Structures are given as C-alpha cells and as structure tokens.
Amino acid sequence: MGNMKIKAKEKDGIVKAKVMAKHEMLTYNAAKKKGKEANFITHMTGKVNDKIVYEISSSQFLSKNPLFKFQFKGKAGDELEMTWIDLKGDTKTEKKKIK
C-alpha cells in the first residue's frame, strides 16, 4: 500500500522537508466499522548520511495520508532517506536528493 512523496530544499544551511506518506491510517474504531484491520504508521525516521534528522513515533490519530513538515541543518546534494513502519510491520523506504 503505497509509497511516499518527498520534497526537500536547502536554503542557508537549513533544509525544509515535506513528506507525504500514502497510508490509510485506519483507526481501531474506523477499522471495526469497515470490517478491516486497523493499520497505521507507528514510527518514521528521516536520515541524511545515516544520521537521523527526523523521528516520530505516531499513533492512529494522524490524518489519512499524513503530511509531515520539518526542518533540519543540511546541504543540497545529500540524500534524505525516509523510512516508515506500520502496525502490520510493513516498512517503506524512499530516498530523495536535497535540492
């Protein structure tokens, strides 16, 4: 199920990143109604050169296809690597060069 979109842009040594993870983010309540299994992203990290620049442990109460915006010190040309893992244990990694 899905993927993610990453945008990262550097200005004056600060990288502004936007990440949209495509995920249903089904809460326990909503899943019960639909007769599906609850599933949501539980943990996500952003790394540049193997250094963690962003980390979030999340619950079911993020929106559907959650959007994450954040900033960190970095430079253009490096690669931002985002990884998330969901309740079912699915994990996705996506890389994007910082502009």
Partner 1 sequence: MNRRKFLGLGLAAAVLVPATTLNAIDFRKTKPDTWTAKDVESGIEALYGAKPTASDAITLKAPKVASNGGAIPVTIRTKIEAKSVAIFQDVNPESAVAVFTVPEGGIVDYSIKIKMKASGKITVVVEDKAGKLHSVEKDLEVALGGCEG
Residues contributing to the site for partner 1 (CB under 8 A)? 14, 24-31, 33-39, 42-43, 45, 51-64, 66-73, 83, 85, 87-89, 91
Instruction: State in angstroms the smallest separation of the CB of 71 from partner 1.
Output: 5
* Interatomic CA distance for residues 90 and 99, integer angstroms: 29
Cβ proximity to partner 1, 26 vs 98, nearer residue: 26
The dihedral built from the CA positions of residue 97, 72, 81 and 64, taken in this order, carries a sign that is negative
Cα 21 from chain centroid (whole Å): 5
Task: Please name which of 18, 7, 9 lies closest in space to residue 70, comparing C-alpha atoms.
Answer: 18
**Reduced to 3 states, what is the DSSP secondary structure of residue 33?**
helix
C-beta of 69 vs 99, nearer to partner 1: 69
Least distance from partner 1 to the Cβ atom of residue 56, Å:
5
Give the nearest distance from C-beta 99 to partner 1 in angstroms.
18
